[in-house]
A and B are shown apart, each in its own frame.
Chain A
């Protein structure tokens, strides 16, 4: 298991958001975390990379415990987070955003750049444009592209489909599928359940801070509870 979360509790101020959450991801696996709004999906990802310190429990990456590490330290170790807000450098160009993404392995920058441009040709067209002038879909691609520039071993994506048109989402997930085939480990949280389940190998259902269900994505698609709650099928 390249990422292991064991018995983690986390809080936002006085409110306990994650209760006793445990999950694991094996190398080259794609895992989905689905659940309703407020379930704690974002908190989970933030806790994994270190933006939030868990009050209990353990998080290990590549065999090492990484509870106490800051976000930039886990990023340097190879676990990169793409938040829902994207957190791009809006006053800087697409190219500069990507360059900064490869901060931790600047020597490989040119190769990584061609890799990312090949994956997201739109970005290459707009390389000198300011990040703030990109469309929603392009910004999401830039955020993911920036994360990829650092040659991450694990990619954590928070609701990548938010605010994007269906066509853009489909395109995005196509590229994510390519990355998966290339061997990238991913943890994806999503509100758009069918998408997430179609891309990933396994999934966890997070509700009110606890894991309620888990299993192979293919199985969960057929699960009647999931179907009723998330797929709108009765």
Chain B
């Protein structure tokens, strides 16, 4: 496609990073909007991870918030109680999240749990996590929350620097995602998400694929969680609740388009904007959220990215050939709905 294959594959990520980096200029120095943008980037990262876990390997992990919270609390508690530097505690927190995610995945595959079951089990875990944090008051400070300011991650206490750090983290996550999806494992993921039994019969080790996807995704989630924990200055169980994290992430992913590269990012961005518009409605904003959810899903069934692609596809001839962002990440979204696998006649 071009003379610099590596460049063309990551070109859109670089573009994205630049675009995001320019946002503070529009924030006009308002700390409120900068914080909004930062939060949006954090959620983008979580949505990318969820895309990996659910979009590509069909594991409905309804515990994104809990995993992020787990990493955040582990890191914060260790930093506070043992006076350890974040350089040590953050990897531990991330490892905890990754390990737990991998465990859920492994057990689910072992027990042959279907999508709903995985969803319910992880949902149960989300609720357990909430109660655990509240119950282990002596470590976590319960509902009052644990202060993370001053625990050693000074960079994140500076709003603008924090924003750019999160952009770097997001780009890193996307690079990892692209790398994995471009590799043989990514190919296996595509086969898996299409037809798991056939994939298994073709020699793909479904267990390994799912567990790795879960571990990787959970690691990214944990990373986001710990960094967010430090950035926020204080962590509390409500921050990582199902309603606060999992629902926006789910909506963002479906809005942007599952199994696409930039879908999660765009979805999260659009969702953040929508939330802002809905805020002035006060108590009714939940109602508006619901209406939007319904309307958007009926209108944009496959997610924004696919629909935009289709719209742009008609103007494809005008676009420069080195812009790979419009190339489909996998063909599954091109499949007509109500799939039927052609059976032997």
Q: Which residues of A contact B (CB under 8 A)?
A: 12-15, 17, 35-43, 189
Contact = CB atoms under 8 A, between A and B. Distances in A.
Contacts of B340: 12-13
Contact of A13 (B339, B343, B344, B345): B339
Chain B contact residues: helix, strand, loop or mixed: loop
Contacts of B344: 37-38
A26 B245 CA distance: 64
Given A13-B335, A13-B336, A14-B336, A41 B342 contact: no
A211 to B, nearest CB: 14
Interface of B: 335-336, 339-340, 342-345
Contacts of A189: 345
20 contacts: A12-B340, A12-B342, A13-B335, A13-B336, A13-B339, A14-B336, A15-B342, A17-B342, A35-B345, A36-B345, A37-B344, A37-B345, A38-B344, A38-B345, A39-B345, A40-B345, A41-B345, A42-B343, A42-B345, A43-B345
A189 B345 CA distance: 9
Contacts of B343: 42
A40 B344 CA distance: 8
Contacts of B336: 13-14
A99 to B, nearest CB: 29
Contacts of A15: 342
Given A13-B335, A14-B336, A40-B345, 6 more contacts: A12-B340, A12-B342, A17-B342, A37-B345, A38-B345, A39-B345
Contacts, number: 23
A41 B345 CA distance: 6
Contacts of A42: 343, 345
A41 B342 CA distance: 12
A41 B340 CA distance: 16
Contacts of B335: 13
A38 B339 CA distance: 17
A110 to B, nearest CB: 37
Contacts of A12: 340, 342
A49 to B, nearest CB: 15
B267 to A, nearest CB: 26
Contacts of B339: 13
Nearest to B336: A13
Nearest to B334: A14
B315 to A, nearest CB: 23
B334 to A, nearest CB: 9
A13 B334 CA distance: 10
A90 B315 CA distance: 52
A40 B343 CA distance: 9
A14 B335 CA distance: 8
A203 to B, nearest CB: 16
Contacts of A41: 345
A42 B344 CA distance: 8
Nearest to B338: A13
A210 to B, nearest CB: 13
Contacts of A39: 345
A158 to B, nearest CB: 9
B159 to A, nearest CB: 50
A73 B340 CA distance: 22
A209 to B, nearest CB: 9
A82 to B, nearest CB: 15
B13 to A, nearest CB: 31
A196 B193 CA distance: 39
Contacts of A35: 345
Name, among B342, B344, B345, the residue most crowded by chain A CB atoms within 10 Å (CB to CB).
Answer: B345
B339 to A, nearest CB: 7
Nearest to A38: B345
Nearest to A84: B343
Contacts of B345: 35-43, 189
A21 to B, nearest CB: 13
Nearest to A52: B340
A18 to B, nearest CB: 10
Closest 8 CB pairs of A and B: A37-B344, A41-B345, A12-B342, A13-B336, A42-B345, A38-B345, A39-B345, A40-B345
